[in-house]
Structure 1
Amino acid sequence: MELDVRHLRVLCAIADSGSVRKAARQLGMTQPSLTTQLRRIERAIGGELFTRERTGSRPTALGHTVLSRARPVIAELAELVAAARREAAGAERRRLRIGSVGSRAVAAWLRRVHTRLPDTDTTIHIDISANNLLRMVAADEIDVAFVHESEGFPLRVPADAQHRVVIAREPQFVALAAGHPAARRPVVSLADLAGDTWMVDPTADHEYAAMRRAFAEAGLNPRVVQVRDNATADELVAAGEAVRPCQPTSIPGAGAVVRPVHGDPLAVRLLLAWRPGALSAPALDALHSDLCSAYLDLARVNPAYRAWLLQHNRTLRHLVAPPLAG
């Protein structure tokens, strides 16, 4: 007879309960069958493990030795089973992997997703490059991505990815020092800033090309520098050393203001992209709705954006594109 974990549990049950009768009740066995089981175990080991007394059963010296080794084995097995069950439960738990370019709407979007899907493991990956995020969607590294597309410079949407428009045309504003002469105007023109140094993030897809095209169409050729760090860029703007394009929902830093640009020469399209089969149609509708709501809340409380809407005779609902696949 070879011993297994069931036999070790029998020995521990007898030792813990203090009698074969009580152990049999705990194990769901009859007392005679447990007594027979114990005798077989003792024969396999080659010695008596318990002394039978009128008050119950007590481990012998050999019994104590066997029990001292049996208990850790049982405890480790119990932990192994518990860990496996936790792992299985985690694997079965729903997950949602979101990717996004930098946007103030992301935090509010995530709050809505967490509220609506409290039992879903939701993660966020931020990348300045929309094309990188689209590649991650196609490679099954993320499930859905919120991306910006510079006007006139289409993104390379992978063949096995789909997209839905969130905002058909978002104007890009400009951040400049509060002491800049143009800051006194509610709307500035590119010509007002032709003598300034402009900043651009070189890792943002097509941002530099879109800016250069706008300058060329306006007959301007201002100096453009590449700055990757947002904190440094904010400080340069506040110090009057440079200006930079920004999202219309942006909040100006200390010493800076945000202004619309006459004619909106810089604009982007906001898209939600996903891989077919990664999400159901209702899930995509809900994510799209959450994102649109988060974006509109930002636009609603932003004075510069509200002023732009009034100037263009538009309302908040005009910003959001209908939820149709692109």
Structure 2
Amino acid sequence: MHNISELQVIVEEAIKQLRYPSKPDKLYAPISYIMALGGKRIRPVLVLMAAELFDEDLKEPLHAAMAIETFHNFTLIHDDIMDNAPLRRGKITVHEKWGVNNAILSGDVMMVEANKQLSNLDISVLKRALFTFNSTAQGVCQGQQLDMEFENRDDVTLEEYIEMIRLKTAVLIGGALKLGAEVANASVEDAENLYSFGENLGIAFQLQDDILDVYASPEKFGKQIGGDIISNKKTWLMLQAIQEAESEEILTMLQVSEGDEALLKVKTVTEIYNKYKIKELAETQVKIYIDKAMQALDNIKVSDERKVYLRALTQKLMVRDN
């Protein structure tokens, strides 16, 4: 079996081997561009890690891993358009470099390319893989839609927020793991347990992100502390604070602010979080979802030795400061 770093190298090498048509250049150059921007490649690595639980031959799983990574980067192109983001991983975003219309079309083609990768799979696993991949993709789009709708709603509940992050973030983690298991001919039960592991891990990861946005060390976080507060993003912490504070202090702060006003807003809202122990409540939620994830991992019918790298990855994702 390979450790996480070794799998990341395998994924990077496989991405370098991907080939797209040369023309029209403005359709395919953006795909090569965003796929080369790097990142931790967690999702394709998860495909391979799941597959290696059941079969150490990575030839078939690599097709599925490339499909997942291509799909993930397609969502990044479209997310950046919707967010009007100028940078992605420190580089100019696709829509800024090639224009919005080209970016939309290149993203569309990436979804086609992802399915072409899946078409390389053996016929014996193709039907299961296609269903899992497309169900996962559909869930991500549903989550993005909910996230956009939440921006204009003042009545979002904690339950709705959890469902949104489950769809937008967690189903892709769960789907990557389930896809890897299916390609390696795992049982239906083991594949479902891997999905549950990934889904709960994904929810915990996003909740941890919500906490870090407020409480991380500014030197290590890599972006502005309190950015979610400044933008009035409806995170778990914000929604819980509104509920705990019975709308008294916090609602007066939820106005668009800039400069010194923004810094005051972050300070004031953080003080409200501290008053009502919102961080501690959020950390309790993180633990609940991590416990669910680990229970699902325990239920997978392979030896504990084969699960060691998934446990290590869980630790790496959850014990972090950025």
Task: Calculate the TM-score normalised by the size of structure 1.
Answer: 0.25
Structure showing the higher strand proportion among its residues: 1
Give 1 or 2 for the bigger CA radius of gyration.
Answer: 1
Structure showing the higher helix proportion among its residues: 2
Task: Calculate the TM-score normalised by the size of structure 2.
Answer: 0.26
